[in-house]
Amino acid sequence: MLDYKLLEALGAVVDQAGFERGAQVLGLTQSAVSQRIKLLEARLGQPVLIRAPRIAPTDLGKRLLNHIQQVRLLEHDLLDYVPSLGDREQRLRIALNADSLATWWAEAVEDFFRDHRVMFDLVVEDQETALKRMRDGEVAACLCMTPRSIQGARARPLGGMRYRPLATPDFMSRYFPNGLNRIALAEAPAVVFGPDDRLQQRYVANHGVTAPFPHHLCPSSEGFYRMIRSGIGYGLVPEIQAQEAIDQGELVDLETSSDVIVPLYWHYWRQGGNILEALTQHLTQHARRWLTDLDGFDNPSGVL
């Protein structure tokens, strides 16, 4: 049988990206945590961690992380019947994209937080790659673009985030004096969230720009938006984030009818316990206040 103290040590080291910080979370010495990991590996006869160049779970380690994460959630359901098991506080580790966190997420879960004793441990990850975090056992749930769930999990459609290619009027006059065209698009500086953000690449490719294009990298949703508001570049911005600036004429579309819809699916473990199931039901009911209904979209993948 598995020794859950050893699994807790594995989870803490991976969650905190290091032995020292993992030990602090567990209230142990770094040496004690290291010994627990070595004992776990000795009992299993296989390594569970890759130590260099950075801490990462092996394939077996990922499976164990998935297991311990679901056990934690299920154990919390027993607290109503066996209070001596421990603290009633529950932590949910969730991966979600920066744009959701900067716009609708907090308001969507506000009522849920009031009704449930839960602490969120949020991991910011691009909507195209968040599912990898779940597959690796790092999170209990995630938001991503992929409708197909991984083994042991379920996926629910929440809706789509509407993005608009926006720039300041001055930027448009400077770089697009004759309107949007392939040549101007290949020369105008864009703002891109990060190397995993494919929205901008798909947008320019849809307009015939396949070669590298000038762009700023800004891995902050708020910073991304401020750069566009300052006229430093153009970019695809969530409509709900930019609506006020659009209404006031401070930002304009590069072209008419150019909205991009990015679908968001909520992935969560089937054996995630009552708290995760309750959060899933809450999001399914309330997220649509901020997200676009995907019904009727032939291509909701975000590329026009």
Q: What is the pLDDT of residues 254-303, one digit of tens each?
A: 997 778 999 999 999 887 778 889 999 999 999 989 999 877 554 444 43
Domain boundaries in the chain? Answer: 161-261
Taking the C-alpha atoms of residue 127 and residue 212, their distance in angstroms, rounded to an integer, is: 23
Q: What is the pLDDT of residues 39-87, one digit of tens each?
A: 989 988 889 898 878 888 888 888 888 787 777 777 766 666 665 556 5
Instruction: Give the pLDDT of residue 12.
Output: 87
Q: What's the average model confidence in pLDDT over 222-235?
A: 96
- 11-41 in b/e burial notation, b at 16+ Cβ within 10 A? bbbbbbebbebbbeebebeeeebbebbeebb
Instruction: Give the pLDDT of residue 267.
Output: 95
**pTM for the whole structure:** 0.78
Question: What percentage of the chain carries pLDDT values higher than 70?
Answer: 91
Average pLDDT, the chain: 86
Domain 161-261 has CATH 3.20.20.140: no
